[in-house]
Structure 1
Amino acid sequence: MKTRNLVLTGIMAALLTICAWISIPTAVPFTLQTMGVFLAVGLLGGKLGSLAVGVYLLLGAVGLPVFSHFTGGIGALVGTTGGYLLGFLLIALVMWAAEALLGKGPLVYLCSAVVGLAVCYLFGSVWYLYLYSAGGASADMLTVLGWCVFPFIVPDLIKLALAFALSRRLAPALSRQRT
């Protein structure tokens, strides 16, 4: 891997950390992480964007406080909201797959981001429901969606639009040759 790509991947992993620290506490914390994921793929492409998300999750898994509320450790990934954290990687992978199959372009980016977000919501909600129910509590999928997804749809679409606009504006600067 080129040094430049390594540095950009690290910067995007750091940006994801900052996006996690900007949070409003709720059952599933409201953060800017999805915007960071969309921005990572928008600026670095699917491969490096996915790598940046993977690095971010790995840093959290080993205990660095990179997740919301300055948490980290494997417990954050295997807890009730861990499915949404792992879902961030699914967003990036869906966007990378779409990019590989359909090429780069605004419509591919936007559609794949929405599909990736839906996959993240589904994965995270099934994970949440399983662990919540395993703890002896009772809930159904509609209840979990009401807690963990419905309140986030509009904000996440706004974050997607902002990430798209920022990516379109900043990507040309990143693609210029540096000497």
Structure 2
Amino acid sequence: MSQTVTANRKLFTTKELVLTALMSVMIAVCSWISIPIGSVPFTLQTFAMFCSLLILGGKKGTFAILVYIFLGMIGIPVFAGFTGGMGIILGTTGGYIVGFLISGLFYWLIESVAKDDLFSKNTAIKVIALIIGLVLCYAFGTVWFMQVYAKQAEAITLKTALEWCVIPFLIPDLAKLAIAVAVSHSVKKYANI
């Protein structure tokens, strides 16, 4: 009689769960740091999203983003302006929040298909993956914004939506990305992550 022994593999270790939870909290705290500048508030959410992915990697970083979104969806006030609930997700800026998840999934995909050694040691590839993920977030969020805004107020052009929701954030988001790269490098080096 032959027995098959299967290893009990955990999705995450205890340390990974704690780090993922901490990064979810970091995203929430960074979303509370908000400057209202029109239809979409300026926050540090993208900085925290970049840090989550760079520090934890694609899988755990994406789970941190997912936990953050889930907490907000069930009503915990983790979104910008200390808000939460499905109304925020279904509102004009909800597409950008969902776009964070799309960014994380894209980063995870690139990390998964790239050779481990190449991806882990090449900051340029990580930055390019994050920039493309940010573009996907902008694209999804802008289309969402246009659809919801058209239902709530009036139809707007893509040009107007980009002027309101993307162009003011391009340089700040790239600056947040550069700072996240520096911060994540230091955190990984000194915290032994």
TM-score by length of 2: 0.88
- What's the secondary structure of 1:79's corresponding residue? coil
Cα distance in structure 1, aligned partners of 2:153 and 2:175: 36
The SS at the match of 2:155 is coil
Among candidates 81, 101, 107, match of residue 69 of structure 1: 81
Structure 1 stretches (4+) deviating beyond 4 angstroms? none
What is the correspondence of 1:12-161 to structure 2 with a 5 Å cutoff? 12-26=23-37, 27-102=39-114, 103-104=119-120, 105-161=122-178
Please say which of residues 90-99 and 27-36 is displaced more in the overlay.
Answer: 90-99
Structure with the bigger percentage of helix: 1
In the alignment, the residues of structure 1 paired with residue 191 and residue 103 of structure 2 have an alpha-carbon distance, to the nearest angstrom, of 22
Give the Å deviation of 1:108: 1.4
Distance in 2 separating the partners of 1:2 and 1:81: 34
What SS does the corresponding residue of 1:68 show, helix, strand or coil?
A: coil
- Between the aligned partners of 2:51 and 2:190, the Cα distance in structure 1 is 14
Distance 1:70 1:156 in 2: 21
In structure 2, what is the Cα distance between the partners aligned to 1:130 and 1:87?
A: 15
Unpaired runs of at least 5, structure 1: none
Q: Note the C-alpha offset of 1:51.
A: 0.2
Structure 1 residue 101: deviation in Å?
1.4
- Give how far 1:168 is off: 1.1
Query: In structure 2, how many angstroms separate the alpha carbons of the residues matched to 1:173 and 1:117?
Result: 27
Matched, 1:8 2:28: no
Instruction: Please state how far the C-alpha of 1:135 moved relative to its aligned partner.
Output: 2.4
130-139 or 31-40: which moved more? 130-139
State how far apart, in whole Å, the 1-side matches of 2:125 and 2:44 are.
Answer: 22
Q: Larger C-alpha radius of gyration, 1 or 2?
A: 2
With normalisation by structure 1, the TM-score equals: 0.95
* Separation in structure 2 between the aligned mates of residue 48 and residue 173 of structure 1, nearest angstrom: 19
Q: How far apart, in 2, do the equivalents of 1:175 and 1:74 lie?
A: 37
What is the aligned-residue RMSD (CA, Å)?
1.0
Number of residue-to-residue matches in the alignment: 176
- CA-CA distance at 1:53 after TM superposition: 0.2
